[in-house]
Structure 1
Amino acid sequence: MKRKTPLAIIFAITFIDLLGFGIVIPIIPSYAGMSFEASDVTIGFLVASFSFMQLIFTPIWGRLSDRLGRRPILILGLLLTVIGYILFGLAESLVMLFVARLLAGIGGANISAAQAYISDVTKPEERAKGMGLIGAAFGLGFVFGPFIGGMLVEYGYSVPGFAAAGLSAIAFVTAIFALPESLPKSARATATSMDFSLRTLAEALRRPKIGMLLILFFLITFGYANIYATFPLISVREFSFSDKEVGYLFGYLGFIGALTQGGLIRILSVRFQERWLFLIGAIATAVGLALIPYSNGTTMLLVVLAVLALGTGVITPSCLSLISRHADQSQQGGVLGVNQALGALGRVLGPIWGAFVFQTIGISWPFLTGGFVLLVVVVLIRRTLW
């Protein structure tokens, strides 16, 4: 019988690490703009740089963990994350800030090793529950991290970076001394990972329903990622929020999203078909995105953000469930790898496009284009699933 202790340890490590990520993410645009006079487009590239490294290194870490074991890859990733956050706090130039985010992105790509670790220590029938721990760690990290970052930023932009470095250092030490290896040496030669390749992508997209669902996931991620760099900027410039309050707004989004994915989605899934949840989530996300720049006052903004968080909290698990449902058992790994890659690509292109239209056309445009993309998703859902 497999022990539950490794699962608890991997959850703790992942949560602590993601808590650090949540601490710094709301302050990056203001940090770059105020301290280094970065343009809005440059800020978009800075925000996207983290996901770009994840796009490249997630399959690399996955393959290396198959050959070397999960533990060394997790430890190395955490070490790079610690270094990245230290540089974030010490940054004296925009170049140094980019290096910090690139290193943190490389380190953060070890999430594939964490997922593989869970697969190693769980039975097939318990795997979904085990993978849910990663989702829970993400949710909790995005709830508490921004609140902590909002409080710490009052002491300077470097303080949240050092706090995130300290948390990742705790996770690093915990992994060294408490995390056992999950992949036996005898299994390493034959282990497989959720690899992404152009051939795998082409094969997945050729399957009509699977291909369209994967495209929809990319569009959803891209549309929402339009606001990653620009929501903090519009919050400060248009709504006159402080950096502390921006952190609280991100925490508020994370809290409602966590409640939705952690509880509400289970209730709704009993009453409604997944395709209806997918459709309703897309509509709510589109409305939430489009109304952000037109929110008159804090109360209306909080209502709009609640609609947005509810929408994303419903649409993401519904889409992932539909993708899994329409993929054969033998295709699950490959399809999941393609899905992760397309999601990462959306998180790279979204902030860049959002920042570009924010600077060149107007501050409302990232939110309007994000809303428009989600409306396209609504139309495609109706055509694909009905």
Structure 2
Amino acid sequence: METTRLRTIAVLAVVYIDMLGIGLAYPILPKLIEQFEHGNVSRASITFGLLSGVYSLMQFLLAPLLGALSDKFGRRPIILIALLGMGLNYVLLGLAPNLLWLAAGRVISGAMGASFSTANAYLADITPPEKRAQSFGLIGAAFGFGFITGPVLGGILGAIDLHLPFLVAAGLSFVDLVFTFFVLPESLDAEHRKEFAWSRANPLGALRELGRYGDVAGLMAVYILAMFANRVSEMTWVLFSTYRFHWGPKEIGISLAAVGVMFVVGQGFLVRLLLPRIGERRAIVMGLLVSAVLMAGYGTITQGWMIYPLIALGVFGWVIAQPAVMGIMSKAVPANEQGLLQGALASLTSLTSIVGPPIWTGLFGYFVSPAAPFILPGAAFFASSAVFLIALGLALRWLGARAALAPG
């Protein structure tokens, strides 16, 4: 038990430091691009969007490959390679003399962004099936804590020099690499490994392979719809709050910090308290229903203060349902395909990062423009609520066939 706890802490430290590095760079990258574009904000915005798309595209294409490789060679070497790649990425960004270097860094970063999915597979290896959803929640909490602390530190360092946050992030990645090398043992025994095959080391092949398992096939559609719906906040939060409440950077920053706290509380603590009591199936239903109500609430509110009770309600939304969905899928897959599963989930998540931005920002932009039949700033949130309801309908259909209301 003590060994498992230490290994869990070690892999959570890997995820946190990795996310801290991403958070350090996040608020500075747009400004660095603007500097390379000689202050042209319009061109800088387009370039930032393209580089973000490249990052997501690389994750979409390569996450199943890295997951399949971790099933063949073990989790530890893949995590180490990912950390090395992230460190080199930040060195490129920190020393970049032009946009070409930035583009190369984003390609490497997207290609090597496997530590989250491989960390999930690692925890699945060392955690009993009935407790995996709670472990996946801890990964989310580490992610959320990095989301809170990283941008704050990045903003402070960026005020000194725009390149400094990237160099600090590089240092953290290399420290994380050394820490992982000496502290984190392999979690996948040789007898539980699976031969590598190119046919399943791609997004479509991975989904086809995992579709053999009924629980995975049934919940995969729920997962991708919910992840897509959840992207609306990430894509339109700044646009919506600026338009609706006339917020500036300070108010937006405080609200985003509150979202991070909600994420840590929900996935770090509430998941561990709630799931053993109500079960994974009820948690999925509750989380999707609350998320549908939550998104409709965001679209309806007219005063800035109203956003904070809704953020608090969010701890019972997709924040709870996501690790429950992942837990059920993980229990349906054997040990030698956990990497493939997590890689496929990471690939689908990246797909929502590619498809989501133009849809959600497009909806917002259209319904605040003169071309719209009426002004509706919350249109994207209302559409997101509808998508969550569709996901809820699919989940109820799947759960109904499996006596869903029995505790998980």
Q: TM-score range by the shorter chain?
A: 0.7 to 0.9
Unaligned runs of at least 5 residues, structure 1:
none
The answer to whether residue 180 in structure 2 is matched with residue 170 in structure 1 is no
The answer to whether residue 233 in structure 2 is matched with residue 232 in structure 1 is no
CA change 1:210–1:228 in 2 (3 A) is same
1:377 corresponds to: 391
Q: Do 2:16 and 2:143's aligned partners in 1 also have CA atoms closer than 8 Å?
A: yes
SS of corresponding position for 2:233: coil
Q: Do 2:124 and 2:330's aligned partners in 1 also have CA atoms closer than 8 Å?
A: no
State the percentage of identical aligned residues: 30
Aligned partner (choices 296, 306, 314) of residue 320 of structure 2: 314
SS of corresponding position for 1:108: coil
2:89 corresponds to: 84
CA change 1:207–1:172 in 2 (3 A) is closer
Q: Do 2:364 and 2:378's aligned partners in 1 also have CA atoms closer than 8 Å?
A: yes
2:382 corresponds to: 368
Deviation per CA, 1:48-70: give whole Å up to 9, x if none. 44332222222333344456665
CA change 1:273–1:75 in 2 (3 A) is closer
2:22 corresponds to: 21
TM-score, normalisation: structure 1: 0.78
Deviation at 1:166, TM superposition (A): 3.4
CA change 1:202–1:167 in 2 (3 A) is same
Paired with 2:31 and 2:244, the residues of 1 have a C-alpha distance of 14
- Aligned AA (2:83): L
2:404 corresponds to: none
Q: Do 1:43 and 1:229's aligned partners in 2 also have CA atoms closer than 8 Å?
A: no
Q: Do 2:232 and 2:360's aligned partners in 1 also have CA atoms closer than 8 Å?
A: yes
Deviation at 1:253, TM superposition (A): 0.9
- Aligned AA (2:264): A
Task: Give runs of aligned pairs for residues 1-386 of structure 1, distance below 5 A.
Answer: 3=3, 7-25=8-26, 37-38=41-42, 44-65=49-70, 70-89=75-94, 97-115=102-120, 117=122, 122=126, 128=132, 134-149=139-154, 151-152=156-157, 158-176=163-181, 178-179=182-183, 182=186, 187=190, 190-191=193-194, 198-202=204-208, 204-205=210-211, 210-236=216-242, 238-243=244-249, 245-324=251-330, 327=332, 329=334, 333=338, 336-362=342-368, 364-386=378-400
Unaligned runs of at least 5 residues, structure 2:
369-376, 401-408
Deviation per CA, 1:250-308: give whole Å up to 9, x if none. 22112112212222234333553543332221122223333335433331122223333
TM-score, normalisation: structure 2: 0.74
Q: Do 2:10 and 2:184's aligned partners in 1 also have CA atoms closer than 8 Å?
A: no
Alignment length, in residue pairs?
Answer: 382
Q: Do 1:214 and 1:342's aligned partners in 2 also have CA atoms closer than 8 Å?
A: no
SS of corresponding position for 1:227: helix
Q: Do 1:293 and 1:364's aligned partners in 2 also have CA atoms closer than 8 Å?
A: yes
- Aligned AA (1:56): L
Deviation at 1:20, TM superposition (A): 1.7
Paired with 1:95 and 1:236, the residues of 2 have a C-alpha distance of 32
Q: Do 2:93 and 2:105's aligned partners in 1 also have CA atoms closer than 8 Å?
A: yes
Superposed CA RMSD in Å reads: 4.1
Deviation per CA, 1:158-179: give whole Å up to 9, x if none. 5544443332232134345x24
- Aligned AA (1:53): M
Q: Which moved more, 1:272-281 or 1:219-228?
A: 272-281
Q: Do 2:122 and 2:187's aligned partners in 1 also have CA atoms closer than 8 Å?
A: yes
Q: Do 1:150 and 1:246's aligned partners in 2 also have CA atoms closer than 8 Å?
A: no
Deviation at 1:29, TM superposition (A): 6.4
CA change 1:305–1:163 in 2 (3 A) is farther
Q: Do 2:137 and 2:267's aligned partners in 1 also have CA atoms closer than 8 Å?
A: no
